[in-house]
Amino acid sequence: MRGSEYKIPAGMPYARKEYIKGAPQPRITKFVMGDSKGNFPVKVRLVAERRVQITHNALEAARIATNKVLADKLGEKGYCLKILIYPHVVLRENKMMAFAGADRIQEGMRRAFGKPVGLAARVNPGQTVMEVYTNPEGVEIAKQSLRFGASKLPTPCLIQVEENK
């Protein structure tokens, strides 16, 4: 499975898990990290610039990279990180055999519906992917951590700073 095959959303999303046998669990498990009960005056957002599908593996990698920088520099009580998208869309792959004589066994494109291999979240331009709530002295660290997280995502992202209401 190559990431470029699933990057651009095409067609209807395949998301009704009650009809799908063997749909995988999302790799991302925690959607809120840090001090979730804290009162932080500043919100730093990571906003997607293009319409794209973000796989659950990429979302988890971005979460880990962002959270690691925040936890190291600000401590567990100095921020609150929230992931705002959820991977609903089930990705399918028609696995091909790759050994000698496989051409006589394999069906090729006949009945090529595919088996579930992963999950993805569909993101539109201008949609927020992650938010970091912090104090004014932690804004630069939050921007740096979101820049690290954005490098794991398949779309260019903007970082916006605003007051938390």
Q: 20-73: per-residue pLDDT in tens?
A: 888 888 899 899 999 999 899 999 999 999 999 999 999 999 999 999 999 999
Q: 103-132: per-residue pLDDT in tens?
A: 666 666 776 777 888 999 999 999 999 999
State both tokens at 159: 């970082």
d(CA 88, CA 123): 11
d(CA 134, CA 138): 6
The pLDDT score that the predictor gives to residue 2 is 62
Residue numbers of the domain that contains 28: 4-163
* Among candidate residues 85, 86, 111, 93, the one with its CA nearest the CA of residue 22: 93
Instruction: CATH number of the domain at 31, please.
Output: 3.90.1170.10
Total structural domains within the chain: 1
Amino acid (one-letter) located at 100: A
Look at strands 115-123 and 89-93 and give their pairing.
Answer: antiparallel
Residue positions counted in the chain: 165
The pLDDT score that the predictor gives to residue 29 is 87
d(CA 68, CA 65): 5
Neighbour-count burial of 98, counting CB atoms closer than 10 A to its CB (0-12 exposed, 13-18 middle, 19+ buried): exposed
